Amino acid sequence: MLAATAAEEKKAQDVSVLDIRDVSAFADYFVICHGGSRTQVEAIATAIKKKCEEKQIRIKGVQGLQEARWVLIDIGDVVVHVFHRDERDFYDLERLWGDAEPVRITG
């Protein structure tokens, strides 16, 4: 998955993909990861945006990039959450979306 690969290339930590098709109507997948600093969060989000642009994948929206605490990138069927470590622990999306199926990332 493009967003997960781009995140890993920027050394994002604990990259996970959740298949939310059976539990959500607004997206098919979540990509969730975190960085250890605001600078890293911004770099991860920017890299994901750049990869999408290179592949001519339309980004519907980006929120939180300026604050770089929780960046949300809407790629249509995929919603990417790039957290600062503290925010990821606090919001715990994997637990919140516990009915979603984890997807193994290959490559």
pTM, two decimal places: 0.94
Tell me the per-residue pLDDT of 8-64, one tens digit each, with 9 for 90 and over.
999 999 999 999 999 999 999 999 999 999 999 999 999 999 999 999 999 999 999
- Which pLDDT band holds residue 1 (cuts at 50, 70, 90)? confident
pLDDT reading at 88 higher than 80: yes
The CA distance from 85 to 89, in Å, is 6
Q: What is the pLDDT of residue 107?
A: 56
pLDDT reading at 6 higher than 60: yes
The CA distance from 41 to 82, in Å, is 6
**Out of 3.90.1640.10, 3.40.140.10, 2.40.128.120, 3.30.460.10, which CATH number does the structure's domain 2-103 have?**
3.30.460.10
Tokens encoding 25: 């109507």
64: left (phi over 0), alpha (psi -120 to 50) or beta: left
- Which pLDDT band holds residue 105 (cuts at 50, 70, 90)? confident
User: Residues with Cβ < 8 Å from 44, sequence gap 6 or more?
Assistant: 6, 7, 10, 12, 33, 35, 71, 82
The CA distance from 60 to 9, in Å, is 23
CA 59 to chain centre: 13
